[in-house]
Chains A and B, each alone.
Chain A
Amino acid sequence: MSFDAFSLGGGASLSPTAAAATASASSPSSSAAAATPAPNPDGLDDYDLPESFTIPSNWRDRVSRAHREQQTEVVVLKEAASQVKVRVTREVQTETAASTLLEEGAPLPAGFDAFLSRVHSDILEQLDANLSSHAFDDYNLLGGGGGGLMGMGSGGMGGRPGELDAPVGFEELFALQHVQAIQDLSRHEELAAAEAAMRGHGSNTKKNRGRVAAASSEGGPAVLGLSWSCNGSVLAASYGRSDHIGWCTHSTATLAFWNIMRRQISSTRADFTLETECCCMCLAFHPERPTILAGGMFNGEIRVWDTSLLQDGGAGSGSSGITLSPSDAVDPYAADGNPLLMRSSIDDHFHREPIAKLQWVRDSNRSWQLVSVAGDGKVLFWPMEDVTNKLSYPTEGYTLTPTEAWHGQGHTRNRFQVLGGVSVAFAQQGAINSAATSEAGGTVATSTKSSSSSSPYFVASTEGGGIVRVALSPILKRKGYIKTGGEGGGFRWNRDAHRLLESADASSKFELKRMVERYARSVQAESIELEHVFGAKPPPHQLYPTNIDRAFEGHAGPAYGLAFNPFERRIFASASTDGRIKIFHINSVREGEEADRRRTRVGRGVRSECRHSFAVLVVCAHRSLFFA
């Protein structure tokens, strides 16, 4: 409003403002208006002039204001839809085809004869091929069970007679039994019984009577060991008795061999046999040489045979594919006509109890060695490709004894107890085939370098049902002879002898060394060989260290079955007489004791600073853990 007044001020300047008009009468326009009545000058005096007058201003005296509002009318919405009411469907079909079948008697179309004669030979050929085709042998319509028959064998699929064509997934190819071996063993038993009867009631017949009684009730001639040759064609079985009491006096034990690649297999008579004068408890074919067989005897001996020599003398040979590889000069298994190639002796330093398990394992130089475990708690490594050794002496050995950390009870000087071994398993096992072996060997070798947790070991099961892991002693890479210092000038040590002594318990190492050197001096040896180490007759449990670095949760009975998975070398399984199979990881730890495990490893590391070797071994023992 003030703005309006201001802007109009200029234009309205001629008109007296309301304020000016009312305030003073001296404005010019007022004077002019006042002068208008001047023609009557004499009446001036009586003209009563008002002192002032007011001209009301009509400028904007009334401001008109208006307020208006407007709104549209209510919007009306409408929705409408429309749809077609009628739908029309149309279909079209061709007309019915005329039949092309010829009516009987109708003339053949031209060229039909020519077509038939052209294709009929092809069709017949294909139909014939169908009859003999194996293209769908493996095809399994139902997805599970069943499967194809292998070309060999004559029996139908089905486990039990009466179950016709049931897809059980297996069939019995052969049932074999070397009757002669069983008769021999039984006859021996009868002779022993007769002999016992003849002796009457002598003072020493108690033992014999016990043996006869045992033979008649249970046990009897059994197959104690079984092994396939590496080429898969020969199955070897060792016949012996399972019920030994005291010594093995069965002078007629037999090894029986079947060649399953033969056209005709006798189920009651082996293809060829080998007589032993002592029961053979376990068998293991060489993983690469199909004719080399190792056996562990009841009396603690280990023997190695060449079965090709047996076969030549036996009833025919040939189709087997078993041939002795051309024997070069350094063939460690070279035979001189005698099938028995090597045998170990029985001694406190070797085995005095029945061999429970034999296993072929490669050493760090990739040459084969034989590992034996027996009830005396010793696990011994025998070099098999050393032409001078020939099972004379082991080059490595371990004693299975309870440990403070894992069994709650160590051994003392006065009380030395062992865990009788029943089985042994190596992560690096016998060859599946040569490729698998080299692969496995390679992996193990690299992993030993990369991490300490995969230091080489083996697993053993014991008579009490325990399962222990034993770390292998480091392999000294030196070759030839090693010169050592010492009292009296020192000696040159054979590499194997040196290693055997180096792997001994740290506490007794020097004592052993002195003992061996004293012996070597007494026989005026120039250098110390394995024979001097054993000739000195050191206490076996000092020579063979314990090295148990882990015990796994055991079984309630001896775990006779123990094996590493051939594909994943950190997994092994054990099967025991308690009816359980346990699958372990080699690095399994006690619950919540990761830190403790590490500490233990460091502690052990002091004793043997590097454990670089190649294999892992698990041992099962069956003597009770807690008895002396």
Chain B
Amino acid sequence: MSFVFLPPQPKPLLTLESPDSDYLFTLAWSPIRPLLLSVGDGDGRILVFDLLESMLAPALIMPPSASSSNSNDQDRAAIYTLSWNVQEPALVAGADVKGRIQVWNLSDNYAKLQPNEMRLIQQMGNLHA
């Protein structure tokens, strides 16, 4: 193994952290809200970040499947894959490594375009011409 000098690389605009710095396996943007994104973590939770609301903490933390929440920690099953329903943008599905699939229904403020949101994301886009 050779250690090589790594040239500087462009930095992100923003870095979010999962509350427990847990593993994240999947990411998906909301199909309807430009500033909403969801990730699945190693404990079977789905975290929804609403950048309009907070750039620090997830707006929603959806708990793992009921069958795993009352068992011990070793039974925790990571969310491997996430998918938003493009026709019903309130619906997001996640599936874990135990083969359980959860379909979540988000409330309207997470499933409808919020005022100012489009302008903010465009401002982000215009940061580098």
Q: Which of A237, A552, A573, A589 contacts B37 (CB 8 A)?
A: A573
Given A226-B93, A585-B127, A587-B128: A573 in contact with B29 (beta carbons within 8 A): yes
Interface size class of B (residues with CB under 8 A): 35 or more
Distance between Cα atoms of A576 and B128 in the complex (Å):
24
Inter-chain residue pair count (beta carbon < 8 A): 282
Give the nearest-CB partner of B12 in chain A. Answer: A582
Cβ A172 vs Cβ B106 within 8 A? no
Given A170-B104, A579-B20, A581-B17: A222 in contact with B99 (beta carbons within 8 A): yes
Distance between Cα atoms of A153 and B104 in the complex (Å):
10
14 A-B pairs in the complex with CB atoms less than 8 angstroms apart: A169-B109, A172-B105, A174-B102, A175-B65, A223-B96, A223-B101, A228-B85, A231-B87, A432-B31, A561-B28, A561-B40, A577-B24, A590-B7, A627-B1
15 other A-B residue contacts (CB within 8 Å) besides A147-B107, A170-B107, A176-B101: A174-B102, A176-B103, A178-B99, A219-B97, A220-B97, A220-B99, A226-B83, A232-B88, A235-B101, A408-B4, A408-B6, A561-B26, A571-B121, A578-B21, A578-B23
Q: Verify if A513 is at the interface (C-beta below 8 Å from B).
A: no
Q: Verify if A138 is at the interface (C-beta below 8 Å from B).
A: yes
**Interface of A (DSSP majority class):** loop
Cβ A575 vs Cβ B10 within 8 A? no
Interface hub of A144, A432, A579 (most chain B Cβ within 10 A): A579
Measured CB to CB, the closest approach of chain A to B36, in angstroms, equals: 10
Measured CB to CB, the closest approach of chain A to B62, in angstroms, equals: 6
Distance between Cα atoms of A224 and B83 in the complex (Å):
12
Given A168-B60, A587-B128, A590-B9: A222 in contact with B96 (beta carbons within 8 A): yes
Cβ B29 vs Cβ A565 within 8 A? yes
Cβ B27 vs Cβ A575 within 8 A? yes
Cβ A406 vs Cβ B9 within 8 A? yes
Q: Verify if A484 is at the interface (C-beta below 8 Å from B).
A: no
Q: Which residues of A contact B102 (CB under 8 A)?
A: 172, 174-176
Interface size class of A (residues with CB under 8 A): 35 or more
Q: Which residues of A contact B88 (CB under 8 A)?
A: 150, 232
Distance between Cα atoms of A228 and B91 in the complex (Å):
10
Q: Which residues of B contact A222 (CB under 8 A)?
A: 77, 80, 95-99
Measured CB to CB, the closest approach of chain B to A292, in angstroms, equals: 15
Distance between Cα atoms of A239 and B100 in the complex (Å):
10
Q: Write the B94-129 contact mask toward A (1 if CB under 8 angstroms, else 0).
A: 111111111111111110000000100110110111
Q: Verify if A16 is at the interface (C-beta below 8 Å from B).
A: no
Cβ B17 vs Cβ A224 within 8 A? no
Given A170-B106, A575-B24, A584-B12: A232 in contact with B86 (beta carbons within 8 A): yes
Q: Which residues of B contact A570 (CB under 8 A)?
A: 124-125, 128
Q: Which residues of A contact B86 (CB under 8 A)?
A: 228, 230, 232, 431-433
Interface residues of B (CB under 8 A from A): 1-18, 20-31, 34, 37, 39-42, 48-49, 59-63, 65-66, 69, 77, 80-88, 90-91, 93-110, 118, 121-122, 124-125, 127-129
Q: Write the A581-623 contact mask toward B (1 if CB under 8 angstroms, else 0).
A: 1111111111101000000000000000000000000000000
Distance between Cα atoms of A399 and B39 in the complex (Å):
28
Distance between Cα atoms of A574 and B90 in the complex (Å):
22
Q: Which residues of B contact A562 (CB under 8 A)?
A: 27
Measured CB to CB, the closest approach of chain B to A213, in angstroms, equals: 16
Distance between Cα atoms of A552 and B9 in the complex (Å):
5
Distance between Cα atoms of A246 and B26 in the complex (Å):
24
